[in-house]
Amino acid sequence: MTAVSPPLALLAEITHRCPLQCPYCSNPVELARLADELDTATWKRVIDEAADLGVLQIHFSGGEPMVRRDLAVLVAHARACGLYSNLITSGVLLDDARLDALLTAGIDHVQISIQDTDPASADTISAYAGGLPKKRAAAQRVHRAGVALTINAVVHRQNLDRLGEMIDFACAVGAERLEVAHVQYYGWALKNRDYLMPTIDQLDAATALVDTVRRQLQGRLVIDYVIPDYYARRPKACMGGWAQHFINVSPTGAVLPCHAAETIPGLAFANIRERALADIWANDPAFAAFRGTAWMPAPCQDCARREIDWGGCRCQALALTGDAAAIDPACDRSPRHLEVFDLAARAAAGSNLVSAYRRP
Protein backbone atom coordinates (compact mmCIF):
# COMPACT_ATOMS: atom_id res chain seq x y z
CA MET A 1 0.00 0.00 0.00
CA THR A 2 1.43 3.37 -1.04
CA ALA A 3 0.86 6.71 0.64
CA VAL A 4 0.73 8.39 -2.78
CA SER A 5 -2.82 8.94 -4.03
CA PRO A 6 -3.55 7.29 -7.38
CA PRO A 7 -3.69 9.44 -10.51
CA LEU A 8 -7.05 10.52 -11.85
CA ALA A 9 -6.15 10.18 -15.51
CA LEU A 10 -3.76 8.56 -17.95
CA LEU A 11 -2.60 10.60 -20.93
CA ALA A 12 -1.84 7.94 -23.53
CA GLU A 13 0.28 9.50 -26.27
CA ILE A 14 0.00 6.55 -28.59
CA THR A 15 1.94 8.14 -31.47
CA HIS A 16 3.78 11.28 -32.53
CA ARG A 17 2.69 10.80 -36.15
CA CYS A 18 0.26 13.42 -37.45
CA PRO A 19 -0.90 14.65 -40.89
CA LEU A 20 -0.81 18.21 -39.52
CA GLN A 21 2.46 20.07 -38.93
CA CYS A 22 1.33 22.80 -36.53
CA PRO A 23 4.13 25.11 -35.34
CA TYR A 24 2.57 25.37 -31.88
CA CYS A 25 2.73 21.63 -31.17
CA SER A 26 3.95 20.77 -27.68
CA ASN A 27 5.36 17.40 -28.77
CA PRO A 28 9.14 17.05 -28.39
CA VAL A 29 11.25 18.44 -31.19
CA GLU A 30 12.70 14.94 -31.52
CA LEU A 31 9.60 12.96 -32.50
CA ALA A 32 9.26 9.23 -31.85
CA ARG A 33 9.55 6.99 -34.89
CA LEU A 34 6.89 4.47 -35.93
CA ALA A 35 9.26 1.56 -35.30
CA ASP A 36 9.75 2.69 -31.69
CA GLU A 37 6.05 2.97 -30.77
CA LEU A 38 4.53 0.62 -28.22
CA ASP A 39 2.58 -2.19 -29.84
CA THR A 40 -1.07 -3.04 -29.23
CA ALA A 41 -0.38 -5.69 -26.59
CA THR A 42 1.82 -3.35 -24.57
CA TRP A 43 -0.74 -0.54 -24.70
CA LYS A 44 -3.39 -2.99 -23.50
CA ARG A 45 -1.14 -3.86 -20.57
CA VAL A 46 -0.68 -0.15 -19.83
CA ILE A 47 -4.47 0.25 -19.75
CA ASP A 48 -4.84 -2.78 -17.46
CA GLU A 49 -2.23 -1.43 -15.08
CA ALA A 50 -3.76 2.05 -15.13
CA ALA A 51 -7.17 0.65 -14.16
CA ASP A 52 -5.60 -1.44 -11.39
CA LEU A 53 -3.75 1.66 -10.15
CA GLY A 54 -7.03 3.55 -9.76
CA VAL A 55 -7.06 5.69 -12.91
CA LEU A 56 -10.59 6.71 -13.92
CA GLN A 57 -10.03 8.41 -17.28
CA ILE A 58 -7.86 7.75 -20.32
CA HIS A 59 -7.06 10.44 -22.87
CA PHE A 60 -5.94 9.04 -26.23
CA SER A 61 -3.60 11.63 -27.69
CA GLY A 62 -0.65 12.08 -30.03
CA GLY A 63 0.37 13.39 -32.51
CA GLU A 64 -2.81 12.28 -34.16
CA PRO A 65 -4.08 9.13 -32.40
CA MET A 66 -6.26 8.21 -35.35
CA VAL A 67 -3.24 7.24 -37.44
CA ARG A 68 -3.03 4.15 -35.19
CA ARG A 69 -5.05 1.36 -36.82
CA ASP A 70 -5.62 -0.23 -33.42
CA LEU A 71 -7.23 2.87 -31.84
CA ALA A 72 -10.72 1.31 -31.66
CA VAL A 73 -9.20 -1.84 -30.15
CA LEU A 74 -7.55 0.24 -27.42
CA VAL A 75 -10.75 2.21 -26.76
CA ALA A 76 -12.70 -1.06 -26.43
CA HIS A 77 -10.09 -2.36 -24.00
CA ALA A 78 -10.36 0.82 -21.93
CA ARG A 79 -14.14 0.43 -21.83
CA ALA A 80 -13.78 -3.20 -20.71
CA CYS A 81 -11.51 -1.99 -17.90
CA GLY A 82 -14.11 0.54 -16.77
CA LEU A 83 -12.24 3.66 -17.90
CA TYR A 84 -13.86 6.80 -19.28
CA SER A 85 -12.22 7.40 -22.66
CA ASN A 86 -11.53 10.71 -24.37
CA LEU A 87 -10.17 11.06 -27.89
CA ILE A 88 -8.01 14.14 -28.54
CA THR A 89 -7.91 14.52 -32.31
CA SER A 90 -7.48 16.97 -35.17
CA GLY A 91 -10.62 15.42 -36.69
CA VAL A 92 -9.28 15.28 -40.24
CA LEU A 93 -9.27 11.46 -40.28
CA LEU A 94 -12.57 11.03 -38.43
CA ASP A 95 -14.85 9.83 -41.22
CA ASP A 96 -18.09 7.85 -40.80
CA ALA A 97 -16.40 4.45 -40.74
CA ARG A 98 -13.81 5.44 -38.15
CA LEU A 99 -16.43 7.08 -35.93
CA ASP A 100 -18.69 4.02 -36.18
CA ALA A 101 -15.78 1.84 -35.03
CA LEU A 102 -15.09 4.15 -32.09
CA LEU A 103 -18.77 4.24 -31.13
CA THR A 104 -18.91 0.45 -31.17
CA ALA A 105 -15.75 0.40 -29.04
CA GLY A 106 -17.40 2.68 -26.48
CA ILE A 107 -15.76 6.10 -26.86
CA ASP A 108 -17.18 8.54 -24.28
CA HIS A 109 -15.89 11.94 -25.39
CA VAL A 110 -14.23 13.51 -28.42
CA GLN A 111 -12.14 16.67 -28.43
CA ILE A 112 -11.48 18.20 -31.85
CA SER A 113 -8.92 20.95 -32.36
CA ILE A 114 -9.27 23.82 -34.81
CA GLN A 115 -6.48 26.05 -36.07
CA ASP A 116 -8.66 28.96 -37.27
CA THR A 117 -12.05 29.74 -38.80
CA ASP A 118 -10.48 31.31 -41.88
CA PRO A 119 -9.78 28.35 -44.21
CA ALA A 120 -6.63 29.84 -45.75
CA SER A 121 -5.19 30.73 -42.35
CA ALA A 122 -6.09 27.30 -40.97
CA ASP A 123 -4.26 25.67 -43.87
CA THR A 124 -1.21 27.88 -43.31
CA ILE A 125 -1.06 27.20 -39.60
CA SER A 126 -1.44 23.43 -39.95
CA ALA A 127 0.45 23.03 -43.24
CA TYR A 128 -2.49 20.81 -44.24
CA ALA A 129 -4.80 21.73 -47.10
CA GLY A 130 -8.56 21.62 -46.63
CA GLY A 131 -8.57 20.70 -42.95
CA LEU A 132 -11.30 23.03 -41.68
CA PRO A 133 -14.23 21.49 -43.64
CA LYS A 134 -13.12 18.03 -42.47
CA LYS A 135 -13.02 19.20 -38.86
CA ARG A 136 -16.50 20.74 -39.14
CA ALA A 137 -17.90 17.53 -40.65
CA ALA A 138 -16.22 15.41 -37.97
CA ALA A 139 -17.58 17.57 -35.16
CA GLN A 140 -21.08 17.39 -36.62
CA ARG A 141 -20.81 13.58 -36.87
CA VAL A 142 -19.82 13.35 -33.21
CA HIS A 143 -22.69 15.61 -32.15
CA ARG A 144 -25.24 13.66 -34.18
CA ALA A 145 -23.98 10.44 -32.59
CA GLY A 146 -24.78 11.85 -29.15
CA VAL A 147 -21.17 11.70 -27.92
CA ALA A 148 -19.87 14.48 -25.69
CA LEU A 149 -17.98 17.00 -27.84
CA THR A 150 -15.36 19.62 -26.99
CA ILE A 151 -13.84 22.02 -29.49
CA ASN A 152 -10.25 22.94 -28.72
CA ALA A 153 -9.46 26.33 -30.27
CA VAL A 154 -5.69 26.77 -30.14
CA VAL A 155 -5.21 30.55 -30.13
CA HIS A 156 -2.21 32.79 -30.71
CA ARG A 157 -1.31 36.04 -32.44
CA GLN A 158 -2.16 34.76 -35.92
CA ASN A 159 -5.80 33.85 -35.13
CA LEU A 160 -6.82 35.43 -31.82
CA ASP A 161 -8.68 38.27 -33.53
CA ARG A 162 -11.14 35.63 -34.82
CA LEU A 163 -11.94 34.19 -31.40
CA GLY A 164 -15.57 35.28 -31.74
CA GLU A 165 -15.87 33.21 -34.92
CA MET A 166 -14.32 30.22 -33.14
CA ILE A 167 -16.95 30.50 -30.42
CA ASP A 168 -19.64 30.61 -33.13
CA PHE A 169 -18.07 27.50 -34.73
CA ALA A 170 -18.29 25.59 -31.44
CA CYS A 171 -21.96 26.51 -31.06
CA ALA A 172 -22.78 25.68 -34.69
CA VAL A 173 -21.37 22.14 -34.50
CA GLY A 174 -23.14 21.39 -31.22
CA ALA A 175 -20.21 21.34 -28.82
CA GLU A 176 -20.96 21.33 -25.11
CA ARG A 177 -17.54 22.74 -24.22
CA LEU A 178 -14.98 25.04 -25.82
CA GLU A 179 -11.37 25.15 -24.70
CA VAL A 180 -9.81 28.46 -25.64
CA ALA A 181 -6.30 27.07 -25.46
CA HIS A 182 -3.66 29.78 -25.55
CA VAL A 183 -0.46 28.24 -26.85
CA GLN A 184 1.90 27.01 -24.14
CA TYR A 185 5.53 27.39 -25.11
CA TYR A 186 7.12 23.95 -25.07
CA GLY A 187 8.52 21.82 -27.89
CA TRP A 188 7.78 23.24 -31.33
CA ALA A 189 5.86 26.16 -29.87
CA LEU A 190 8.97 27.37 -28.07
CA LYS A 191 10.84 27.37 -31.38
CA ASN A 192 8.05 29.47 -32.92
CA ARG A 193 7.38 31.86 -30.04
CA ASP A 194 7.95 35.00 -32.15
CA TYR A 195 5.29 33.82 -34.62
CA LEU A 196 2.76 32.81 -31.99
CA MET A 197 2.90 35.20 -29.02
CA PRO A 198 -0.21 37.43 -28.88
CA THR A 199 0.02 41.12 -28.09
CA ILE A 200 -1.27 42.33 -24.75
CA ASP A 201 -4.03 44.25 -26.58
CA GLN A 202 -5.15 41.05 -28.31
CA LEU A 203 -5.13 39.21 -25.00
CA ASP A 204 -7.15 41.90 -23.20
CA ALA A 205 -9.74 41.94 -26.00
CA ALA A 206 -10.01 38.13 -25.98
CA THR A 207 -10.40 38.01 -22.20
CA ALA A 208 -13.16 40.62 -22.29
CA LEU A 209 -14.91 38.73 -25.10
CA VAL A 210 -14.83 35.46 -23.17
CA ASP A 211 -16.21 37.16 -20.05
CA THR A 212 -19.14 38.53 -22.07
CA VAL A 213 -19.88 35.37 -24.06
CA ARG A 214 -19.75 33.15 -20.98
CA ARG A 215 -22.71 35.10 -19.58
CA GLN A 216 -24.58 35.04 -22.88
CA LEU A 217 -24.09 31.30 -23.45
CA GLN A 218 -24.50 30.12 -19.87
CA GLY A 219 -26.19 26.73 -19.90
CA ARG A 220 -25.42 26.21 -23.57
CA LEU A 221 -21.62 26.26 -23.91
CA VAL A 222 -18.96 25.93 -21.21
CA ILE A 223 -15.82 27.92 -22.06
CA ASP A 224 -12.49 27.01 -20.48
CA TYR A 225 -9.99 29.85 -20.75
CA VAL A 226 -6.48 30.26 -19.41
CA ILE A 227 -4.29 33.19 -20.44
CA PRO A 228 -0.73 32.62 -21.71
CA ASP A 229 1.59 32.07 -18.77
CA TYR A 230 3.95 34.79 -19.97
CA TYR A 231 1.27 37.42 -19.25
CA ALA A 232 -0.01 35.87 -16.01
CA ARG A 233 0.43 37.07 -12.42
CA ARG A 234 0.03 33.65 -10.86
CA PRO A 235 1.14 30.29 -12.26
CA LYS A 236 -1.34 27.61 -13.21
CA ALA A 237 -1.36 24.24 -11.48
CA CYS A 238 0.31 22.55 -14.42
CA MET A 239 -1.28 19.10 -14.96
CA GLY A 240 -2.89 19.59 -11.54
CA GLY A 241 0.56 19.58 -9.95
CA TRP A 242 3.62 17.47 -10.75
CA ALA A 243 2.71 13.77 -10.29
CA GLN A 244 -0.49 14.66 -8.46
CA HIS A 245 -3.34 13.75 -10.82
CA PHE A 246 -1.97 12.76 -14.24
CA ILE A 247 0.37 10.09 -15.50
CA ASN A 248 1.64 10.29 -19.06
CA VAL A 249 2.93 7.44 -21.23
CA SER A 250 4.80 8.49 -24.36
CA PRO A 251 4.69 6.65 -27.71
CA THR A 252 7.94 4.88 -26.83
CA GLY A 253 6.80 3.90 -23.33
CA ALA A 254 8.46 6.59 -21.22
CA VAL A 255 6.33 7.20 -18.11
CA LEU A 256 6.17 10.91 -17.30
CA PRO A 257 4.47 13.32 -14.88
CA CYS A 258 3.70 15.58 -17.87
CA HIS A 259 4.22 15.50 -21.61
CA ALA A 260 7.17 17.94 -21.57
CA ALA A 261 8.99 16.48 -18.56
CA GLU A 262 11.74 14.89 -20.67
CA THR A 263 13.10 18.39 -21.39
CA ILE A 264 14.36 18.57 -17.79
CA PRO A 265 18.01 17.51 -17.56
CA GLY A 266 19.10 15.29 -14.72
CA LEU A 267 15.83 13.36 -14.49
CA ALA A 268 15.79 9.79 -15.80
CA PHE A 269 12.32 8.51 -16.61
CA ALA A 270 11.40 4.85 -16.37
CA ASN A 271 9.90 2.92 -19.27
CA ILE A 272 6.73 0.85 -19.13
CA ARG A 273 8.52 -1.91 -21.03
CA GLU A 274 10.70 -2.46 -17.96
CA ARG A 275 8.65 -1.51 -14.88
CA ALA A 276 5.05 -1.58 -13.71
CA LEU A 277 3.01 1.61 -13.86
CA ALA A 278 2.10 1.49 -10.15
CA ASP A 279 5.74 1.10 -9.13
CA ILE A 280 6.80 4.06 -11.24
CA TRP A 281 3.97 6.25 -9.94
CA ALA A 282 4.67 5.51 -6.30
CA ASN A 283 8.43 5.00 -6.17
CA ASP A 284 10.24 6.56 -9.10
CA PRO A 285 12.66 9.37 -8.11
CA ALA A 286 11.68 11.46 -11.14
CA PHE A 287 8.05 11.47 -10.00
CA ALA A 288 9.10 12.40 -6.47
CA ALA A 289 11.39 15.21 -7.65
CA PHE A 290 8.72 17.95 -7.69
CA ARG A 291 5.76 16.18 -6.10
CA GLY A 292 4.20 18.02 -3.16
CA THR A 293 5.85 21.08 -1.59
CA ALA A 294 9.12 19.97 0.02
CA TRP A 295 11.17 20.81 -3.09
CA MET A 296 9.92 24.41 -3.30
CA PRO A 297 12.19 27.44 -2.84
CA ALA A 298 11.53 29.69 0.14
CA PRO A 299 9.05 32.17 -1.40
CA CYS A 300 6.87 29.27 -2.54
CA GLN A 301 7.14 27.45 0.80
CA ASP A 302 5.55 30.47 2.51
CA CYS A 303 2.86 31.05 -0.14
CA ALA A 304 -0.81 30.45 0.68
CA ARG A 305 -1.23 29.05 -2.87
CA ARG A 306 1.48 26.39 -2.54
CA GLU A 307 -1.11 23.59 -2.50
CA ILE A 308 -3.25 25.29 -5.15
CA ASP A 309 -0.80 25.89 -7.98
CA TRP A 310 1.87 23.48 -6.66
CA GLY A 311 4.63 25.84 -7.72
CA GLY A 312 3.49 26.19 -11.32
CA CYS A 313 5.20 24.56 -14.29
CA ARG A 314 8.65 23.03 -13.91
CA CYS A 315 9.23 22.78 -17.65
CA GLN A 316 8.40 26.46 -18.08
CA ALA A 317 10.69 27.41 -15.20
CA LEU A 318 13.45 25.50 -16.99
CA ALA A 319 12.73 27.09 -20.39
CA LEU A 320 12.74 30.63 -18.99
CA THR A 321 15.32 30.50 -16.21
CA GLY A 322 17.46 27.45 -16.99
CA ASP A 323 16.49 25.90 -13.64
CA ALA A 324 13.54 23.51 -13.29
CA ALA A 325 13.50 24.11 -9.51
CA ALA A 326 13.23 27.90 -9.82
CA ILE A 327 10.09 29.90 -9.09
CA ASP A 328 7.84 29.74 -12.14
CA PRO A 329 8.32 33.19 -13.77
CA ALA A 330 4.56 33.33 -14.39
CA CYS A 331 4.34 34.18 -10.67
CA ASP A 332 4.81 37.82 -9.73
CA ARG A 333 6.87 36.70 -6.72
CA SER A 334 9.57 35.55 -9.12
CA PRO A 335 12.48 37.96 -9.64
CA ARG A 336 12.20 37.08 -13.37
CA HIS A 337 8.50 37.96 -13.66
CA LEU A 338 8.80 41.39 -15.30
CA GLU A 339 11.60 40.12 -17.50
CA VAL A 340 9.31 37.42 -18.85
CA PHE A 341 6.49 39.91 -19.41
CA ASP A 342 8.91 42.04 -21.43
CA LEU A 343 10.02 38.93 -23.33
CA ALA A 344 6.40 38.32 -24.29
CA ALA A 345 6.04 41.88 -25.57
CA ARG A 346 9.20 41.53 -27.67
CA ALA A 347 8.07 38.17 -29.04
CA ALA A 348 4.64 39.62 -29.91
CA ALA A 349 6.40 42.25 -32.04
CA GLY A 350 8.48 39.57 -33.76
CA SER A 351 8.33 37.67 -37.01
CA ASN A 352 5.07 36.78 -38.77
CA LEU A 353 6.79 33.82 -40.40
CA VAL A 354 6.85 30.28 -39.04
CA SER A 355 10.37 29.42 -37.92
CA ALA A 356 9.90 25.65 -37.98
CA TYR A 357 6.88 23.55 -38.88
CA ARG A 358 6.48 20.35 -36.87
CA ARG A 359 8.10 17.80 -39.15
CA PRO A 360 9.71 14.42 -38.36
* The pLDDT of residue 360: 78
List the binding residues for [4Fe-4S] cluster.
Answer: 18, 22, 25
DSSP-assigned beta bridge partners for residue 142: none
List the chain domain ranges: 1-359
pTM value surpassing 0.85: yes
Residue-wise pLDDT tens digits, 127-149: 999 999 999 999 999 999 999 99
List the binding residues.
Answer: 18, 22, 25
pLDDT at 196 over 50: yes
Residue-wise pLDDT tens digits, 277-290: 999 999 999 999 99
pLDDT-based confidence at residue 1 (cuts at 50, 70, 90): very low
The answer to whether 246 and 9 are in contact (CB under 8 A) is yes
CATH classification for the domain delimited by 1-359, as one of 3.60.21.10, 3.20.20.70, 3.20.20.60, 3.20.20.150: 3.20.20.70
